Amino acid sequence: MKVIMNRVLCIDDDSITLMLCKATIKQASFSEKIDTAINGQDAIEYYEDLLNKSVDGEVYSYPQVIFLDLNMPILSGWEFLDEFMNRYYLKFNKTKVVILSSTVDHRDRERAAEYPIVMDFYSKPITKEMLHDIGQKLN
């Protein structure tokens, strides 16, 4: 299978979920590079580092897809989305977010739909079928 993405970012506070996410993405050949963050604040620092590494204002390699958990300590998925939209979206405007959450609250799905960057909302855990669907939507 051809690799679909150059780089993705998985944001989740659970190390087992991150490990499963990375393994599934690798098995599905979904992305060449898989970066991780353990909460929203860690992800904000990741994007700050990307900006600091930019050349003449151009960032050459950044995640095309973010897999985002909502319920995390320090900075939640919602807080990360707000911060990303306010501070980073103009620079990283080709990035799409896929929410991976264990929530069953329909209001979370409705709220996620208000963010133009959010392309999908799935229940954990990530699967090859999800990645196939996401790949189809991106192509």
Higher pLDDT, 117 or 105: 117
CA angle 99, 101, 106 (to 5 degrees): 90
Host domain of residue 33? 5-49+59-95+117-138
**Is 33 inside any structural domain?**
yes
Higher pLDDT, 87 or 105: 87
> In CATH, what number is assigned to the domain containing residue 81?
3.40.50.2300
> What pLDDT, on the 0 to 100 scale, is given for residue 53?
83
What are the pLDDT digits (tens) for 49-99?
998 887 666 667 899 999 999 999 999 999 999 999 999 999 999 999 999
> What pLDDT, on the 0 to 100 scale, is given for residue 35?
97
pTM given for the model: 0.94
**Is 110 inside any structural domain?**
no
Decide: 96 and 64 in contact? Cβ < 8 Å: yes
**Is 34 inside any structural domain?**
yes
**Is 81 inside any structural domain?**
yes
- How much is the average pLDDT of 132-139? 90
What are the pLDDT digits (tens) for 17-55?
999 999 999 999 999 999 999 999 999 999 999 988 876
**Is 26 inside any structural domain?**
yes
**Is 70 inside any structural domain?**
yes
H/E element, 27: helix 15-27
> What pLDDT, on the 0 to 100 scale, is given for residue 16?
95
**Is 111 inside any structural domain?**
no
- Give the count of domains, the chain: 1
